[in-house]
Structure 1
Amino acid sequence: MSLFSDNIRFLRTQKKVSQDKVAEATGIPRSNYAKYELGYSEAPHDALLKLSRYYHCSIDLLLSVDVRKVDFEKLLKLDDNRILLPISVDSNGDNVIEVISHKAKAGYLSSYSDPEFIESLQHLTLPFVKNGKFRAFPVEGDSMPPHKDGSFIVSRYIENLGDVIDGKTYVLLTKSEGIVYKRLSRSGAKKLTLQSDNTFYKPYEIKISEVLEIWEYNCSIATKEFAPDDISPESITEMFLQLQKGMNEIKNTLKG
């Protein structure tokens, strides 16, 4: 028996469905699916993709993690959401930040759950970024000052929708818009309000079912220097907030 066989059998029993039901829903012949559960044959790529979508978890997780030890009830309940790949660390044990470059951004919406795509991303480490799954996303436009076009937002993956705090900033992967960075607030049980810090842009609502991933802002990396014209009341407030957050992180590190 393989870990994959144990995983799909466990997930099927958790859903309380038969092998016939899984076969019908995925389009995989029942005889083939039965062999996958028994470990008699390996599932090809197209079958892995179908099962990943059916059970709402990544292919990597199906193949390499014992899902019986994963608390699925606490995971974010979003349509087509995927559990991320296991957290990567470098030789010093520091979290590895996966960088979504401007070039990679175009393909992220269709490949965010593809292990090969994720493994191909560039990586970096920051000494104060720990305890979580982190990615760096590129900023475009002027909707979220003081973050300039070309900057990167380093964010921590949010597994549970209940961890989203009104008024904080998050990177979202949405079906219709791809990657967006906005200030969030709840709008009932099924919607979120997305707001820009630049008041020129009006807030708007999206259905939670449109959201594929949510990442909480952790820090930013500027790739361009600020010009005098960039200084505004909003940007000054944001800079003080970031300074305070950095000081709190240093204090917590010293306490630890």
Structure 2
Amino acid sequence: MSLFSDNIRALRVKYKISQEKVAESLMITRGRYVKYEDGTSEPRYEILKKIAHYYHISIDLLLSVDVREIDVNDLLKLENNRLILPIQVDQMGENCIEVVTQKVKAGYLNGYADPEYIEQLQQISLPFLGVGKYRGFPVEGDSMPPHQDGDIIVGRYLEQLGEVLGGKTYIIITRSEGMVYKRLNKNRNDTLVVASDNFFYPPYEVKASDILEIWEYQCSIARSDKRNEALESDSIKNMFVEIKNEITDLKKNMVLKN
């Protein structure tokens, strides 16, 4: 017996469903389904996907976690039928917030859907945040002042891309860029414009299909009370705009001379 076969048997028994009914929903024979439960045969990907959708649970959990040890009713259901661990609470009944430290940040792209990885993250509790699923992420670089390198941004998980509000800041996890904290604006239904508050960094586009997770900014944990430098002042901006225009003019003149 494999963990997968144990899991689908446990889920079927939990919901009091017959093997025949499950097989009918999967559009396969009962005999074929029985082989999945007794571990003598493994389903093709198409059938595996159907089983995951049937029980409203992720393929990740079906294959790697003993569902008998968790309450599947408390799992937070995410877009595309993917799930994360149940919302954990402390002794006071407040939500526990997992914190992705700088030390483990590099592994988040591979571990965000791994229950064991998430369980090992440090946890804090911020009672004022209220209901929701929250996670803390480290800031890197100087693209989003006044937040500085090493600060922690606490975000609330958004289940759908449609919840993104233009002009607000979010932690986004993408396949291509990894983890970034930016200000988002919708460009089209399938594209977001990702912008930094530091004007030195140009905005760019991210396709919805590239996004794995979005967490809306709720609060930050900072280690410094340093004032934001005057890089955002109009005079400094104007100076760089003038320099940019002068460089453009020089390029045009060189082209005309040639």
Conserved? CA contact 1:183–1:197, under 8 Å: yes
Residues 69-116 of structure 1, C-alpha deviations (whole Å, 9 max, x = no match): 9897xx535xxx732211111010111010001111000001100000
Structure 1 residues 172-187: aligned runs within 5 Å? 172-187=172-187
CA drift at 1:148: 0.4
CA distance in 1, matches of 2:41, 2:92: 36
- Is 1:59 equivalent to 2:61 in the alignment? yes
CA distance in 2, matches of 1:131, 1:229: 32
Distance 1:93 1:229, change over 3 A: closer
Instruction: Structure 1: give runs of 5+ residues left out of the alignment.
Output: 21-29, 235-256
Conserved? CA contact 2:172–2:180, under 8 Å: yes
Distance 1:229 1:185, change over 3 A: closer
> How many residue pairs get matched?
209
The answer for the alignment partner of 1:240 in structure 2 is none
Structure-1-length-normalised TM-score: 0.68
Structure-2-length-normalised TM-score: 0.67
CA drift at 1:19: 4.7
CA distance in 1, matches of 2:160, 2:75: 13
The answer for the alignment partner of 1:221 in structure 2 is 221
Conserved? CA contact 2:173–2:212, under 8 Å: yes
CA drift at 1:53: 11
Percent of aligned pairs sharing the same letter: 45
CA distance in 1, matches of 2:137, 2:196: 17
Code of the residue aligned with 1:76 in structure 2: it is: E
CA distance in 1, matches of 2:174, 2:14: 32
Code of the residue aligned with 2:210 in structure 1: it is: E
CA distance in 2, matches of 1:229, 1:159: 33
The answer for the alignment partner of 2:119 in structure 1 is 119
Residues 31-67 of structure 1, C-alpha deviations (whole Å, 9 max, x = no match): 5x64445xx45999xx9xx769965725189824556
Structure 1 residues 86-165: aligned runs within 5 Å? 86-165=86-165
Distance 1:130 1:19, change over 3 A: farther
CA distance in 2, matches of 1:174, 1:198: 21
CA distance in 1, matches of 2:41, 2:106: 29
The answer for the alignment partner of 1:246 in structure 2 is none
CA distance in 2, matches of 1:131, 1:115: 21
Distance 1:115 1:148, change over 3 A: same
Partner-residue secondary structure (3-state), 2:84 = coil
Instruction: Structure 2: give runs of 5+ residues left out of the alignment.
Output: 1-8, 234-258
The answer for the alignment partner of 2:11 in structure 1 is 3
Code of the residue aligned with 1:151 in structure 2: it is: D
Conserved? CA contact 1:3–1:66, under 8 Å: no
Structure 1 residues 190-209: aligned runs within 5 Å? 190-209=190-209
The answer for the alignment partner of 1:167 in structure 2 is 167
The answer for the alignment partner of 1:239 in structure 2 is none
Q: CA RMSD in A?
A: 3.8
Code of the residue aligned with 2:11 in structure 1: it is: L
Conserved? CA contact 1:192–1:208, under 8 Å: yes
Structure whose alpha-carbon radius of gyration is higher: 2
